Amino acid sequence: MQKKETCPVLEISLARLEHNLRELLKRCSASGIQVAGVVKGFTALPEMVKLYETCGCRYIASSRIEQLDHIRNAGIKTPLMLLRVPMLSELEEVIRLADISLQSEREVLRALNETAKRIFAGNETLSGSRLDENLNHLMETRRFPSGVQSAGTSDPSRADRQSAGISDLSGSGRQSAGTSDPSRADRQSAGTSDLSGSGRQSAETSDLSRAGGQSSSGLLTPRRHQVILMADLGDLREGFWDRQELIDTALWIERELPCLALAGIGTNLTCYGSVKATPEKMQELLSLAGEVEAAIGRKLEYVCGGASSSLHMVLENTMPAGINLLRLGESIPLGHFLGCEMNFMYRNVLTLKAEIIEVKDKPSFPIGELTADAFGRVQTYTDRGIRRRALAAIGRADYGDPSDLKPRMKGIEVVGASSDHTILDVEAVKDQIRVGNILEFDLTYASMVYLTNTESVRIKFVGEPE
């Protein structure tokens, strides 16, 4: 007798995830855009993260420092990005684990620079991609010229920089908002992305944090932690609201914080304020990037145009040239995002399976005096008469909001849930539902976060990647 599958279980198809990654990366690359693959939505499960590295994400990103630690311990070598502005209490971990971070507070930047100076000067152990970049290796006989030029200083010749092993940022950097860029159509007709025009640097030559530098005080800085300054364009989460404050902070980093390297600027849209990412918002960001570049006297490596909410502009060919980095999260494992036409993606990378433990005909309206439910909420109910109901052995403690579960079988409705039970209306398919049946559900971003965090739901990987 075949052993019955233990439920609840979250099945994850690695083959379908790989397909989604390659399809999105291909389309972004054709527009001169690199991808920071955001893995916090599935709790940075290492089996999934490894595909983000294999498929060529420029960065692997999370807002949780403990997830970056787990990624490094899993042997991932791709540079790591910290998405959330770091707490002052976690700066040592930021320097040890993250190659680049998003920033919006001068106090944090000042403390981060001091922390980096202490760790780099002490030659303390760094993890992951940094293991081969200790002080003794980098402080060889040659004193490298600075990879960052302050406004008003002369730029070393290209030959001098290349002989020192430093990438030519001015020659291959991102074009400022005021310069011409080959049309997107020209780039796509050629079948390749215009790396020089878009400012996208190869991993071997352009990582600012890998370049040695010399500060105004003469201190050699063999490693510099990269930072992206965030601009708040109206969504009202993180970021500089005052335009001049961001420009002044960029110049301050260049001149006064020798252990930090300004890699670029970025923004976040939609996540809090529901502000739509539009070409006009991207032009606003590019304009600000041009002002920063004029102030610091060099090109920025990255202008980061947001997250999955900006992806529709790539797919619709409306993304302004010059945006060259996106932070893509839920659109990859879920295979869709609001406002995006993505019929080339799998939408069933993740499958939740739950077992039915009760099937009965019951009233659809509670009987008795009503009060708040187990979560302190006053619910509303619709009297639809006697209906066939089924209970699934999974609840809000596992996935959060029951409205975030999407039954794959047509005719099944999620009515509600308590901590450990999910109530389903199965009247339309009552002849098909029995105790012991296993039903499948699609997920939303929120339910994916919950389900990959709970120990009560078994995770099963299926479908080997190519």
pLDDT tens digits along 67-113: 999 999 999 999 999 999 999 999 999 999 999 999 999 999 999 99
Q: Is residue 341 part of a domain?
A: no
Q: Is residue 344 part of a domain?
A: no
Q: Is residue 263 part of a domain?
A: yes
pTM of the model: 0.81
Do 252 and 166 lie in a common domain?
yes
What is the domain-level CATH number for residue 429? 2.40.37.10
Q: pLDDT value at position 427? A: 98
Do 168 and 261 lie in a common domain?
yes
In which band, very low, low, confident or very high, does the pLDDT at 221 lie, cut at 50, 70 and 90?
A: very low
Mean pLDDT of 161-178: 37
The count of other CB atoms within 10 Å of the CB of residue 242 is 11
What is the domain-level CATH number for residue 141? 3.20.20.10
Do 154 and 46 lie in a common domain?
yes
Which residue did the predictor score with more confidence, 4 or 64?
A: 64
Mean pLDDT of 303-322: 98
As a whole number, the mean pLDDT across the chain is 84
Q: Is residue 342 part of a domain?
A: no
Structural domain that includes position 217: 31-334
- Provide the Cα torsion 325, 58, 202, 193; round to 10°: -50
Q: Is residue 8 part of a domain?
A: no
Total number of domains in the chain:
2
Q: Is residue 207 part of a domain?
A: yes
In which band, very low, low, confident or very high, does the pLDDT at 178 lie, cut at 50, 70 and 90?
A: very low
Cα-to-chain-centroid distance, residue 311: 13
- In whole angstroms, give the CA distance from residue 430 to residue 424: 11
Instruction: Give the pLDDT confidence of 50-78 residue by residue, as tens digits.
Output: 999 999 999 999 999 999 999 999 999 99
- In whole angstroms, give the CA distance from residue 191 to residue 175: 21
Do 81 and 219 lie in a common domain?
yes
Q: What percentage of the chain reaches a pLDDT higher than 90?
A: 74
Q: Is residue 110 part of a domain?
A: yes
Q: Is beta strand 458-462 parallel, antiparallel or unpaired with respect to 9-13?
A: parallel
Which residue did the predictor score with more confidence, 357 or 378?
A: 357
In which band, very low, low, confident or very high, does the pLDDT at 123 lie, cut at 50, 70 and 90?
A: low
Final residue of a domain: which of 300, 334, 368? Answer: 334
Mean pLDDT of 165-181: 38
Beta pairing partners, 267: 231
How many CA within 13 A on the CB side of residue 15? Answer: 4
Scan for tokens 């919006």, then name that residue: 104
